Structure 1
Amino acid sequence: MSRKCLIYHPVAEFPLSDPDFTQEIQERFSRLNDNPIKPTQPEERHLTILGAREYPKVLHPSRLRIHLPEQSQKNLELNVVGARMLGECALTLVFNDLSQTLPREERRRIKQAFIEAGATTPHHKKFKPHVTIAKIPRGISRRHVIRWTENMLPTDPTVIVGGITQNNLSGREFNEQSLIEFDFSNEGHFLDLQVADCMLLPPLKQKPEKKGCGHHSHS
């Protein structure tokens, strides 16, 4: 059983062009004789639903079967409201309330399955769906990095993520058996979600999130 792989949505389309973003952010905030900014590589950008550190330490060895909406298998378009720092060093893109509906529901169902199986996940702060785009070392102004990143974003930026998966990042195979088996169906459940290939929803008022200041345990 694996307690090392993530449960996540891989990023399929990103609003900042590669390799321009990587080169420009490092040049703009370069510091001699110090650790450089480390942008997340395109193949490793993802939206974490359950981090590797969040699996219960004690759990019955049988696999958990978790029911998820059919939308969890499809591409999903997430509306970006801006850049934020989560924890001490993670520069992230965060999303509006509507875009957070599916990720929050997926995480809720996974954690509920653990509880019903007699296990409790480690305590973490309130789940904030996000995509980490860079690690920022100490000594660089977070405020300036956030402002610069938001100025780089196009008008009405979006991130498109692929269907939910559980594995190592970058598509590397994980040989250990996973704790979780997903079952996808909308029977008995309804979520009004913004799926990338069928979006006819009215715009919502954007509600900015507060900046995080604690430890960022999964990115």
Structure 2
Amino acid sequence: MDTTDLPNIVSDALQPLDFASLALHADDAHAPRILLLYGSLRDVSYSRRCAEEGACVLNALGCETRFFDPSGLPLHGDAGESHPKVVELRDLVMWCEGMVWSSPELHGAMTGVMKTIIDWIPLSPIGGIRPTQGKTLALMQVSGGSQSFNTVNQMRILGRWMRLITIPNQSSVPMAWKQFEDGRMKPSSLYNRIVDVMEELARFTVMTRGRSAMLTDRYSERVETLEDVHKRVSS
């Protein structure tokens, strides 16, 4: 699927965001960097297709988007951090300023694939930088049956745990197999919600990325830093 191709009905109503007006004066107003993750390995994956629809919207807004293909990613603990898929995932997380998590609902929860991806994203600093802290997150789920919010609620808890700024809006697509035709999502209120979520994510990303250090400055971490300094001095 070409993630730059928007349906005509959307392209007439959606306008690229003026990043310069949203960004801090010290911000160069570059295109927000958004990583899209999906929790399915199926050839016909509706969580991936919804993420691709989201990428179309993000690109139309002026964002830069990248995907991570989870195929070949080992279970957490079943390989080392040097595994090529783990390195690829972590490099993408370091690159991005915001993320989209899109997962099917399986047995009332996110898939094991989605949880494995998240498990490989570290909380501890890499090169002095926490990979997720202060970055934005949008949540999407697809279901084979009636609408549910179990998976987005689960991922919202994980997003908070990963110190991500999880936006208020979210998308839940019931009977996802009915919502697509010829590989594209049909016009509907469900599609409009995806557009809303992506637009909100782009705005939150630009408005918070220049303030991330201030928003995530924590007393407890400053105490730990001072204690480490005192230990080095005393030794």
Which structure has the highest helix share of the two? 2
Q: Which has the higher contact order (CA 8 A, sep 6+)?
A: 1
TM-score, normalised relative to structure 1 = 0.27
Which structure has the highest strand share of the two? 1
TM-score, normalised relative to structure 2 = 0.26
